[in-house]
Amino acid sequence: MNASELCTLSATEVVALIRKKQVLPSEVSRAVLDRIQAVNPQLNAYCTIETETAMATAGQLDEAVQRGDVLGPLCGVPISIKDILYVRDSRTTFGSRLFTDHVTREDAPSIERLRKAGAIFVGRTNTPEFGFKGVTDNRLFGATRNPWNPSLTSGGSSGGAAVAVATGMGPVGIGTDGGGSIRIPASFCGLVGLKASFGRIPNYPATAVDSLRHTGPLTRTVADAALLLEVMAGVDERDPFSLGGAVSDYPSLIERGIAGWRIGFSADLGFADVDPEVARICAAACQSLVVAGAQVEEVDLNWQDPYDCWNAFFYGGIGGLLGRRLQSEGDLLDPGLRKIVMQGSKLRAEDFVDAQFQRNAFWHQTHPFFRDVRLLVTPALAVPPFPIGQDDADPAGQSSRPLGWTPFTYPFNLTGHPAVSVPCGFTQAGLPVGLQIVGARFDDLGVLCAARALEQIQPWADRWPPDVTAVQK
């Protein structure tokens, strides 16, 4: 296979070819690294490229393949890591001038498992400072551009990871999600973005937003998302909230189908204001699941927007973390982050107690829904991608509040339900639209089964961005 063809392969395909000795890990990594050199300057997905380390690892795996060793489930798969997760002996800046030359000395549990499975880390991907917003730009590395239209945002905060996968700069990107940060860029870039059940993939070291935070994959296919979940899931004693008893064969079980399942579709959760074109595309995609044998019905929800509650946990946590540094180092922060830190630092103990009770009340509002319906389907986002330079969908400074454009994601960080964003169509302007599939507590497999069913009904993996990021097959 030529280099361009290698860059279009899914992780599952890469592993299969390597096991058959039809391609070597070093050949795949070399193709991806060359692709990064060619495409990244235009889109700014990667902030650090690990060429020497990646090729050294690939060389070791080449030898293992040629010896006939037992190979890991991700042997030879090039993977990018968001510049917010700990990677051993790697520069980890968190997108902040406060940590320009910071090197982490240990792996996060998910990274440790990926390494053991044979993944090859090719670089670190861009993120807004400390992942504080739903678009990807920072004062250290600049903005990451949407490959479908480089004048638009990629979304965030795992925007670099999404753009890398969307343009063939690696089949898998690992991101984090505290309010939608995997699902937002997945929707804006036309990918699968999985936020598994809270605790399914362990978190470590601790962060200021641990009760909301999920680590997970961005991929082109559902099979790849299932494979990555299988590798990364499972209890880790460093994370007291990590879950044991994970399903051990996600990749094969996702093929079992969704015949007879009851699926509810909500266009607004009872409080969202959604772009009509986005709502129409998502409703049509959800109804197509009838082809797979599901019973699909529109549901009229009257849920209350939990943004203020989420805000206390997320922005309050960030404010508590960085507030003490404002006086001496505040000028180094993104102006938007500085404002949030100042606001978050003003929250009182009573505010956090109130937020905890509100969170519990929201759980009791949402959890009963899944007693009668297997899955809830919504738009992933309320809008299509918007211009670079805006932190929110409304023009800078005119938004009524942050995240009014992503009302479907942060609610399920509060509850911990599993959720995935999958491609479901394109706007008239040729921009991707994502559909969110939400499962009952711990029903990661159900979410993936429905995503796989939709993928079979209306495949998306062969759709690549045009023009400057075109992948020539």
User: Which of these is catalytic: 157, 187, 197, 266?
Assistant: 157
Is residue 443 within 8 Å of 432, Cβ to Cβ? no
**Spatial separation of the C-alpha atoms in residues 387 and 155, rounded to whole Å:** 10
Is residue 307 within 8 Å of 410, Cβ to Cβ? yes
Taking CA atoms, 365 is separated from 298, 311, 371, 375, 392, in Å, by 18, 19, 12, 15, 28
Is residue 288 annotated as part of the catalytic site, yes or no?
A: no
Is residue 157 annotated as part of the catalytic site, yes or no?
A: yes
Is residue 80 annotated as part of the catalytic site, yes or no?
A: no
User: Which of these is catalytic: 110, 154, 181, 187?
Assistant: 181
User: Which of these is catalytic: 80, 82, 242, 421?
Assistant: 82
Q: What amino acid positions are annotated as catalytic residues?
A: 82, 157, 181
